[in-house]
Structure 1
Amino acid sequence: MKENYYLEPFIKKEDIQKKVKELGKMISEDYRGEELFLVGVLKGSWIFMADLVREIEVPLEVSFISVSSYVGETTKTSGVVRLLCDIDKPLSNKNVILVEDIVDTGLTLSYLKKLLEVRKPKSFKICALLDKPERRMADIKAEYVGFTIPDEFVVGYGLDYNGYFRNLPEISILRFK
């Protein structure tokens, strides 16, 4: 990647860890005595989901789904969501939580919610590490949210720019020079 950017620290690793523990505790309390089926949205949510499942204290299964709405080297969504890889198990009569890295325009989550709700889960909720309500274009809301953030392009802790920065342990704002 060309060196025409800099990273502005935004959310510290310790703050992320604390918030993930809180989300895991809330989910555990809400589903005490139940089983869960978590669906992670690839590729951005995998680090968050790995940490989150270790904080949830009820029996659970995991699967992943992959979609794309970005084209090429851009920080803007195309607005068109494409399903790249579907989950491999039925959802009928399961408590499903869709785990996402960030709720931005809401177009991807709106698409996924419709796609998964027709499979007749017992319940369906969304858990997102980050929520960017200023950018919302679809009427969608996550029931579990880690941080509400302003309209900035963020990377790290699974979030990327053109495949880079997922490995950063904190979340930073990507700035171009």
Structure 2
Amino acid sequence: MHQDIEEILVSEQEILEISKSMGAHISKDYAGKTPILVGLLKGCIPFMASLVKYIDIPAQMEFMAVSSYHGGISSSGDVKIKYDLETSVNGRDVVIVEDIVDTGATLSTITKLLLHRGAKSVKVATLLDKPAGRKVEFVPDYIGKTIPKKFVVGFGLDYEELYRNLPYVGVLKPSVYQK
């Protein structure tokens, strides 16, 4: 897998530092509250696992499977909910945990949905922000690192369900997906 990576954009050490810093920030912002951390599967898993270790307030973990990528390297813009929450968000503070915010379409749609379902507040915590990819106006509340408009994989991010298990985030060589 490593030979398919053109360059490393976010190292293991940087991810650890981002997790610690963001976890402390979320803990401070939600002191005295019990937020629901909603991970968007599958990409959120490594980052959410790293982040929650540094959130030192009571927090509930839930998951949704949501996709706007249906194969390929770009978002289709069509957001599909494949697996929904098992817990009501009515009256609760929600922090959506995501691996990357690219077009903003998925996060915009899910934020509106959770607010429609009665969430008291909805914020987004993302490992990576790629503002050059935006198709809708959307700004995450907690950003680990802003990256350029490159196709990245690793630490949850995939290409055709592969590379999620890389311990860093890297740029995938175009020769891998331009076949």
Into which bin does the TM-score normalised by the smaller protein fall?
Answer: over 0.9
Tell me which residue corresponds to 1:168: 166
Tell me which residue corresponds to 2:13: 14
Quote the Cα distance in structure 2 between the aligned partners of 1:143 and 1:18. 18
Q: How does 1:128-143 map to 2 (within 5 A)?
A: 128-143=126-141
CA contact (8 A) 1:6 1:176 kept: no
Output the TM-score relative to the length of structure 1: 0.94
- Listed one character per residue, the Cα deviations across residues 80-114 of structure 1 (whole Å, up to 9, x for unaligned) are 11111100000011110011110000011111111
Give, in angstroms, the shift of residue 33 of structure 1. Answer: 1.2
Q: How does 1:43-58 map to 2 (within 5 A)?
A: 43-58=42-57
- Listed one character per residue, the Cα deviations across residues 141-160 of structure 1 (whole Å, up to 9, x for unaligned) are 11100000000111111111
Query: Partner letter of residue 129 of structure 2?
Result: D
Q: How does 1:27-106 map to 2 (within 5 A)?
A: 27-72=26-71, 74-106=72-104
Output the TM-score relative to the length of structure 2: 0.93
Tell me which residue corresponds to 1:109: 107
Tell me which residue corresponds to 1:23: 22
Give, in angstroms, the shift of residue 5 of structure 1. Answer: 4.3
Quote the Cα distance in structure 1 between the aligned partners of 2:6 and 2:84. 33
Quote the Cα distance in structure 1 between the aligned partners of 2:4 and 2:49. 29
Q: Which moved more, 1:156-165 or 1:7-16?
A: 7-16
CA contact (8 A) 1:127 1:142 kept: yes
Quote the Cα distance in structure 1 between the aligned partners of 2:6 and 2:53. 29
Tell me which protein shows more strand as a share of its residues. 1
